[in-house]
Structures are given as structure tokens and as C-alpha cells.
Amino acid sequence: MKSIKKTIAYFFTGLVLIFAVIAILGIWDIIELDHLIRKMFGSVLVIMAAAAVIVFLFGVLIRDNENKD
């Protein structure tokens, strides 16, 4: 379970760094951010919801199975 939490933490750290670079490029007018920001936030929300469901399932199902053994 510890490695899953580390993997998720590194994944979200990578997402934050990628989005920060994209935001900086948009601030400097190197890329246009018209529809990109909406898609980025939508993607982050979907990924966070999926991660929350996965963590919940692992926490409930695996913990219940370990207690029965």
C-alpha cells in the first residue's frame, strides 16, 4: 500500500509540474491557452476522481481481506 501512495504522489507531482510549465508558456504567449486550460482542469478532475475511487477500493477491499485472514 505504501508503494501505491508513493506512485500516486509522484504521478500528481509530475502533473503539477507539467501544468506549471504549460501555464508559464501561456503567460509568455508562447502557446495559446484558450481551450487548453479548460481541458487541463477537466483532465485533472477526472484523474483525481479515478485516483480517489482506486484508493477507496484498495483501502476498503484489501483491508477487509487482510482482517479476515
Question: Within 13 Å of residue 60, how many CA atoms lie on the same side as its CB?
Answer: 6
> What are the counts of helices (DSSP H) followed by strands (DSSP E) for the chain?
3, 0
The domain of 24 spans 2-68
- The stretch 59-67 carries a mean pLDDT of 69
The C-alpha atoms of residue 65 and residue 1 are separated, in whole angstroms, by: 14
Number of domains making up the chain: 1
The closest of 9, 10, 31 to 22, measured between CA atoms, is 31
Supply the DSSP symbol for 55.
Answer: H
Amino acid 68: pLDDT? 60
Q: What is the percent of the chain with per-residue pLDDT over 70, rounded to a whole number?
A: 88
- The stretch 44-61 carries a mean pLDDT of 84
Rounded to the nearest angstrom, the gap between the alpha carbon of residue 44 and the centroid of all alpha carbons in its chain is: 6
pTM, 2 dp: 0.56
